Structure 1
Amino acid sequence: MTIDVMLPYYGDVAMMKAAVDSVLNQEDKDFVLTIVDDGYPDADLPAYFQQLVDSDERVRYFRNETNLGANGNYKKCLSLVQHDVVVVMGADDIMLPNYVGTVRKAFQNPDIKIVQPGVEVIDEDGNVYLPLGDKVKAGLRRLAVGGSSEAVIAGEPIAESLITGDWLYFPSVAWRSDAILKHDFREQYNVVQDIALAMDIIMDGGKMLVTDTICFQYRRHRESDSSVRALDGRRFAEERAFFDECARDFAALGWTKAARAARLHLTSRLNAVTLTPKVVSKRMWPGLGKLVMHAVRP
């Protein structure tokens, strides 16, 4: 079972090269690395990418003629999937050497559509750390799996857990290709497209395997695109639309607990509260109003 590693790229060159190296240094060599360059303006990159392709037959490289943006490039990556399992990796994240082997073992169960392996969070300098938000994610994950080191979860319980607080680390998640291609990323979302995709697969009966085996490092940037969108309110507007959509979908399935959690979206509202001091310090008054409205929305 060859695993497709899709690497949509636009951003820091050094971090991208570290990400590429981490894939090529996998202990399990049965993978194909596909890099999709969204037109990053660096004159030296084409030669670097060509050298990768020439030196390793497992590497493919594509460059978009026009910039598609994050969600558009994710969708472009899916159009290039060739094998039964795929991961859409972040171009600044790190695969530990056991990642491909861990994922391959998890997908030995043919019923599994999504695999969330163990993840470490690293900062801009590659240091492992655990911010408050990630501590909350870890707690929600433990509750979802009942404290087990490995568990298969499905249906309303996992939908309720993830809509209460999204504890997935999208760049580390591996997907059964038939499931991800069936549902694809929703075009209207630019921040929550990952959890929306997971929800579509879960509502379609897909099962998720969660394992504590740490095999991936997720890089947390203080000024990431999602952080900026949070401060000016755009992230929460998108989240609110998504929660409303999920509440309707869950209700149609008879998932009353999950629908209630979607309407409440407690951790999202608490997150808006925690960001208000930073918004005030930056004098982002329109963003402050949007955060407050999101936090107190009935």
Structure 2
Amino acid sequence: MLDIMLPHYGELPLLKIAVESVLAQSDSRWRLTVFDDNPAERVTGVPEYFAGLGDPRVRYERNPQNLGITRNFQQCVDRAEAPFMVIMGCDDVMLPRYVERVHALVEQQPDAVLVQPGVEVIGADGSVVRTLADTTKRRVYAPKIQGTVRMEGEALAVSLLRGNWLYFPSLAWRTSEIQAVGFDPDLKVIQDLKLILGLVTRGGALVADSEVVFQYRRHNESLSASSAVTGGRFSEARSFFLAAAAGMDAHGWPRAGKAARWHLSSRIHALTMLPAAAKQRSGGSVRVLTKYAFGKPR
């Protein structure tokens, strides 16, 4: 059994696509739970849609009060019951073999804590796209994966701190382990990396696979993208990486500590945001981005 937890914030048309992609899975060993965290004025049609599905494997709940992204993520973690779980994006797409492939990978690597299946990126219209961010991630930071690869320990921590090449909504997590660590409620756009590093330092192994079974939708208007242009993402990132460096040093992983201090991919990301900030004539954002990109590691 795989618990697919879906925190919802967006519009009904994309939500329908996400839900119907789960219903179309070739392997029926799944259960879908949707936690609707939309403001009240935007919920039109969503409860009615789920009421009309009539599928006992699908559960829909509207949060009585708005939780925000990280607290809704944590609710997904707390409410999961199956041995493995997914926190799927409400606009992403599971290709028909996703559940089947995740079960197969877990059977091959029964002690794995985290499973990263193959992912392709789609745009707002659903077509496969090649963005600068994803091309850089795959060519520069991500390990070259052919078939199935197992990673763990300091080598995995170094790889992720150089550049987080994982796709959070596509990951399958061992439920007991993610519940033991949980999300940091003080983080908004980098909470997934902190959680993953917590699992790695606990001895957790990652299994990555090259078979594409998930479509990750890339939006320029996402919280992550908008906070990157204003520089807000990087204020949070600076504090996170400095704390991560200290934590890795204390754990006896000096190479990971060094990678955290340099946080190279995050600096390059800041550089790519400079033209957009300049176009908006935001001097404050330009200064924040420039300082972050070229500042010396501490």
Distance 2:64 2:140 in 1: 41
What SS does structure 1 have at the residue aligned with 2:249? helix
Question: Which residue of the partner structure matches residue 236 of structure 2?
Answer: 238
1:193 is the counterpart of 2:194: no
Relative to structure 1, the CA distance from residue 277 to residue 142 in structure 2 (aligned partners, 3 Å threshold; closer, same or farther) is closer
Distance 1:142 1:163 in 2: 11
Question: Which residue of the partner structure matches residue 36 of structure 2?
Answer: 37
Higher mean C-alpha displacement, 149-158 vs 83-92: 149-158
Once the two structures are aligned, what percentage of the paired residues are identical?
41
What SS does structure 2 have at the residue aligned with 1:11? coil
What SS does structure 1 have at the residue aligned with 2:113? strand
**Residue type of the partner of 1:181?**
Q
Residue among 264, 268, 272 paired with 1:270: 268
Distance 1:227 1:43 in 2: 27
Query: CA offsets, 1:222-280, max 9 Å, x none?
Result: 12110100011110111111111110111012111111110011111111111111110
* CA positional deviation for 1:221: 0.6
1:112 is the counterpart of 2:112: yes
1:15 is the counterpart of 2:19: no
Q: State TM-score, norm by structure 1.
A: 0.96
Please identify runs of 4+ aligned residues in structure 1 that moved more than 4 A. Answer: none
Question: Which residue of the partner structure matches residue 49 of structure 2?
Answer: 48
* CA positional deviation for 1:149: 2.3
Question: Which residue of the partner structure matches residue 96 of structure 2?
Answer: 97
Contact 1:153–1:207 at 8 Å: present in 2 too? yes
Q: State TM-score, norm by structure 2.
A: 0.96
Distance 2:96 2:197 in 1: 29
Residue among 286, 291, 294 paired with 2:284: 286
**Residue type of the partner of 2:250?**
A
* CA positional deviation for 1:141: 5.7
Contact 2:148–2:210 at 8 Å: present in 1 too? yes
Distance 2:199 2:258 in 1: 20
Question: Which residue of the partner structure matches residue 73 of structure 2?
Answer: 74
How many residues align? The count is 293
What SS does structure 2 have at the residue aligned with 1:124? coil
Query: What aligned pairs does 1:133-282 form with structure 2 within 5 A after superposition?
Result: 133-140=133-140, 142-143=142-143, 147-282=145-280
Contact 1:140–1:167 at 8 Å: present in 2 too? no
Gapped regions of structure 2 (runs ≥ 5)? none
Distance 2:112 2:35 in 1: 27
**Residue type of the partner of 1:58?**
R
Contact 1:19–1:91 at 8 Å: present in 2 too? yes
Query: CA offsets, 1:18-69, max 9 Å, x none?
Result: 00000011000110000000134233222112223xx111011111011111
Distance 2:112 2:55 in 1: 30
**Residue type of the partner of 1:235?**
R
Gapped regions of structure 1 (runs ≥ 5)? none
**Residue type of the partner of 1:100?**
V
Relative to structure 1, the CA distance from residue 140 to residue 199 in structure 2 (aligned partners, 3 Å threshold; closer, same or farther) is farther
Distance 2:242 2:287 in 1: 20
Query: CA offsets, 1:196-240, max 9 Å, x none?
Result: 111100011000000001000000011211010001111011111
